[in-house]
Amino acid sequence: MSKENYKLADSLYRKVLKRYKKNQDSIQIARNYSNLGNLYFEQYQDILALKYFDSAYKFSKPLKDLELKSTIAYNMHVIFELSKKHDKAILYLKEYTALNDSLQKQNALWEVAQEKEAHNIAQKQAELDIKTAERNTFIAISAGILLMLIVGFIFYRKLKQQHKQIKSLNYELNETNKVKNQLFTIIAHDLRSPVARLKQLFQLRALKKDSEAISSDKNVTQIIDSLSLLLDNLLNWSLSQSDLLSVQKEWFPLWQIVRQIELQYQSLIEEKNIQFSTDIQKSVLVYGDMEIFKIVIRNCLDNAIKFTPKGGKIVISGAIEEDSFTVFITDSGIGIPEKVLKSIFEIKSNKVQKDTTGRTSSGLGLMLTKSMIQLNGGSIQIKPNPKGGTIVHISLPYKNVA
């Protein structure tokens, strides 16, 4: 494009687009359509430019990449403004402005979270230093008491009382550190396996000097997707625990969200030859934060796929239960042991289960799911499937529309 060799640029963009479509990479597909729109915009072919910008806009709609969506919305505004279709141009300008504001808020929120975490760590360290100093003082006083047995009885009673206070404070600190250490253990456990596998793959490819194979290796893509989901879960969980997650509740169609998540996992479903079906009424609207609810459904479906063997079955259905609409995610997977099921939503470093590929999972996604559904004013339960596997129950306020 910089050399104005538009014909060659068009050919190369289409070649890259074909590969991304094969890998079902929605972000890169949207970005490539946007690049094709810019290519024809540079050649003053506004009709073709609009066609590709519109395709980019449709692919970017369900994505969470605010920066990409903002850029595409602005391109749509410019093309309609030049076409003198001012009403549409204004609509896309508003969307661009809203996305840009959301992007700035997201960045600000992340900075606040980092600052708060740094402050908390510094505060905990200061408290730990104080407790260490108190313990050292206690040891010194105890040694003095052994040398001063004559007056030891009075000092002993005072020190015993002080010891109880220190013990109580240490217990509280240990409980706090226990939760923190368990969380770190969970994170380290979930990160270690995919990172080691990724390192092994790259080392093997490096020995073969086959860089192209690395970029297209399905295992690499799956591992990176797994790491991305883990990091997203970790960020959202930390935000929810710090009361920094913005919740914007509204009425939205349940079946549409389920369909979007299904498309995101279509390749994994087909790869494992899983019989997948949905039975959600299109007339059902549920009340909550739509983006947070997507996180819940995505984590539950991801678990169902991971723990369902090849040729298995997953069904997403729904039913009205009193004042709520309950979504059932039923799988024919390997199930969850009763001992693990009792503490499925708790932070425990020893709560580990292997999926159908032998990889282990410690359940951070489920802890996040419970936190997210509670923020939405709903509830979640996981029960054994009498036919084998598990059934996830997710309940939210609802209403029917004709």
Mean pLDDT check: name the lowest of 60-69, 146-155, 202-211, 253-262: 202-211
CA 286 to mean position of chain CA atoms: 21
- Checking if the pLDDT of 362 tops 60, the result is no
Can you tell me the mean pLDDT for 390-397?
91
What's the predicted TM-score (pTM) here?
Answer: 0.47
Read off the DSSP letter of residue 130: H
| Sign for the pseudo-dihedral over CA of 260, 264, 265, 270 | positive
Q: What is the pLDDT of residue 349?
A: 47
Helix (H) or strand (E) holding 82: helix 66-82
How much is the mean pLDDT over the chain? 79
Give 353's pLDDT tier (boundaries 50, 70, 90).
low
Q: Which residue has the higher pLDDT, 350 or 301?
A: 301
Task: Determine the Cα angle at 59 with ends 282 and 399, to 5°.
Answer: 20
Give 171's pLDDT tier (boundaries 50, 70, 90).
confident
pLDDT tens, residue by residue, 104-134: 887 777 777 677 777 778 778 878 888 888 8
Can you tell me the distance from the alpha carbon of 379 to that of 158, in angstroms, rounded to the nearest whole number? 50
Mean pLDDT check: name the lowest of 233-242, 316-325, 365-374: 233-242
Q: Which residue has the higher pLDDT, 107 or 54?
A: 54
Q: Which residue has the higher pLDDT, 20 or 353?
A: 20
Give 228's pLDDT tier (boundaries 50, 70, 90).
low
Q: What is the pLDDT of residue 12?
A: 93
* b/e code 268-300 from CB counts within 10 Å (16+ = b): ebeebebebebebeeebbbbbbbbbbbbbbbbb
pLDDT tens, residue by residue, 273-302: 999 999 998 888 989 888 888 888 888 898
Closest among 219, 229, 359, 399 to 300, alpha carbons compared:
229
Helix (H) or strand (E) holding 151: none
Q: For tokens 């009885």, name the residue.
A: 153
Can you tell me the distance from the alpha carbon of 89 to that of 65, in angstroms, rounded to the nearest whole number? 22
- Checking if the pLDDT of 370 tops 90, the result is no
Task: Determine the Cα angle at 54 with ends 49 and 58, to 5°.
Answer: 150
Give 190's pLDDT tier (boundaries 50, 70, 90).
low
Q: What are φ and ψ of residue 316, in 5° steps?
A: -110, 115
Can you tell me the mean pLDDT for 52-77?
84
CA atoms lying within 13 Å on the CB side of residue 38: 15
Q: Which residues lie below 8 Å from residue 180, measured CB to CB, with a gap of 6+?
A: none
Where does 168-219 show beta strands of DSSP type E?
none
Can you tell me the mean pLDDT for 47-63?
85
* Residue 284, strand partner residues: 400
- Checking if the pLDDT of 181 tops 60, the result is no
Q: Which residue has the higher pLDDT, 352 or 155?
A: 155
Q: What are φ and ψ of residue 275, in 5° steps?
A: -75, 110
Cα distances (Å, whole numbers) of residue 395 to 176, 279, 320, 402 = 31, 16, 9, 21
Where does 164-292 show beta strands of DSSP type E?
250-253, 275-279, 284-288
Mean pLDDT check: name the lowest of 48-52, 128-132, 175-179, 261-265: 175-179
Can you tell me the mean pLDDT for 30-48?
86
Can you tell me the mean pLDDT for 206-219?
54
pLDDT tens, residue by residue, 239-266: 555 556 677 889 999 899 899 888 888 8
Task: Determine how many CB atoms are found less than 10 A away from the CB of residue 90.
Answer: 13
User: Could you tell me whether strands 275-279 and 379-384 are parallel, antiparallel, or unpaired per DSSP bridges?
Assistant: unpaired
Q: What is the pLDDT of residue 351?
A: 53
Can you tell me the distance from the alpha carbon of 60 to that of 38, in angstroms, rounded to the nearest whole number? 16
Q: Which residues lie below 8 Å from residue 6, measured CB to CB, with a gap of 6+?
A: 39, 42, 43
Q: What is the pLDDT of residue 216?
A: 47
Closest among 307, 363, 339 to 182, alpha carbons compared:
363
pLDDT tens, residue by residue, 93-106: 888 888 888 888 87
**Both structure tokens of 17:** 């687009």
Q: For tokens 């079906």, name the residue.
A: 277
Task: Determine the Cα angle at 236 with ends 235 and 241, to 5°.
Answer: 100
Amino acid at site 274: I
Helix (H, G, I), strand (E, B) or coil at 45: coil
Can you tell me the distance from the alpha carbon of 22 to that of 267, in angstroms, rounded to the nearest whole number? 10
Task: Determine the Cα angle at 65 with ends 60 and 71, to 5°.
Answer: 65
Q: Which residue has the higher pLDDT, 352 or 292?
A: 292
- Checking if the pLDDT of 22 tops 80, the result is yes
Mean pLDDT check: name the lowest of 13-27, 61-75, 108-122, 146-160: 108-122
Can you tell me the distance from the alpha carbon of 45 to that of 39, in angstroms, rounded to the nearest whole number? 9
Q: What is the pLDDT of residue 198?
A: 61
Can you tell me the distance from the alpha carbon of 185 to that of 326, in angstroms, rounded to the nearest whole number? 33
Listed ranges 69-83, 249-263, 349-363; the one with the highest mean pLDDT: 249-263
Can you tell me the distance from the alpha carbon of 88 to that of 67, in angstroms, rounded to the nearest whole number? 21
- Checking if the pLDDT of 368 tops 80, the result is no
CA 270 to mean position of chain CA atoms: 22
